[in-house]
Chain A
Amino acid sequence: MSARDTILATIRRSLKAEGDEAGRRQAVEARLAAPPSGIVPKRGQLPHEEQVALFAEMATAVDATVERVAGPGQVTQALSRFLRERNLPQAVVRGTDPYLAGLDWESVPHLRTKTGIADGSEEVGLSHAFAGVAESGTAVLLSGPENPTTVNFLPETHVIVVEARDIVGDYEAMWSRLRDRFGRGTMPRTVNMVTGPSRSADIEQTLLLGAHGPRRLHLIVVDTP
């Protein structure tokens, strides 16, 4: 017998599952077909504008910085200003994400952009979030042809553009948006939920920012005019 068969047989024997195969299968199918949502904290159950405020508040509490801009037209200038204020080079690496590509890059001619994956030589990565989750200030990033995962982890500074209209109250709401886009049971290769910049407390429980991932996380929240 293969290890697979042995393990599954032992599970069935231990559970004394013989005899009610149909009922058990039905219970599983029912849960997968219509996942019960469970307990959703009241914290995020707010009017949308307050969800956006909560998102910023929670992200700030975990050491991210947040700037809100009135429209897509202001993103690149906010980015450039952020880099200047932090004494960072005017250079970012990003994927070919159409939203990012469509930003007003011409207004910041001194800002160099590299499109494609990050290889560890870049100081700043720029990503476009699929969603923001208010309850914990979490940005959700999806991998795909236009969104390399390396951009989220290799550069020391990570800037994420979050459209205000993509901010939801809770994880459950985020998953239902994901299902709407990809279909039930289908996921991109990688979904990154990012809550603050990288950190470690492995040396004497002293919290230090910037372990292996980005030391700085800056969120630009963009209103849709």
Chain B
Amino acid sequence: MTTTRSGGPRIGLFATCLVDLIRPSIGFAAAKLLEDAGCTVEVPPQTCCGQPAYNSGDRADAKAIARRTIEAFEPYDHVVAPSGSCSATMSKHYPELFAGDPAWEGRARAHAAKTHELVSFLVDVLSVTAVSAQWEGSATYHDSCSGLRELKVHAQPRNLLGGVAGLELREMAHPEVCCGFGGTFCVKYPDISNVMVGRKTDDIAATEADMVLAGDLGCLMNIAGKLKREGRRTEARHVAEVLAGMTDEPAIGEAER
């Protein structure tokens, strides 16, 4: 691992397209958490990991986008993203996308090997055991599918949330069940997606927690959008915002205060 002026690893923060466009505060929270843990954080020009094209069967575009991303992040020790789903695309699927491509397979593998989901990177790689954050209230945590099943992110966010002063973690029923987002699934099959997210918001509401947290903005937009449509008061935030103590911005889908 190369080191930088600060002595910590040099991180290329992959904000993810959704965070870049919709909720930059998650990007800043991620940067703060990484910097607090001793990393140097940079944000090279970026767009998207290519997952929407990849999962829609558009391999050519997925590869073109992936090549851009791989190139942009080659200078860094690690690529860290505040998303299980984008991290898994890069760490699990890029090598498959370029399998047999002599020019790119090796680069894809190298990129994959150094890509991490934010919270698991903090806990598993940087050995962070506690954050200095405070949030008064109760929260429930939804396991986003890619993070949970492809990257085994489960205990890490719960462990760190356990150290947030004032926060009481309440498990919902079936935190591991998909919220029905599924990228383009939610607009291709809106009726099915709606029932799935409705079950999720029911499970969330049953905990009577003040806030629902997750590690992926896609799921959170889906869940927050449904909570708002149902007129429920539960707020939705990315886990990084709470761990970084950066909760001044209105929660996802909330009006300005």
A–B direct touch in complex (beta carbons closer than 8 A): no
Name A residues whose Cβ lies closer than 8 Å to a Cβ of B.
Answer: none
Residues in chain B within 8 A of chain A (CB atoms): none
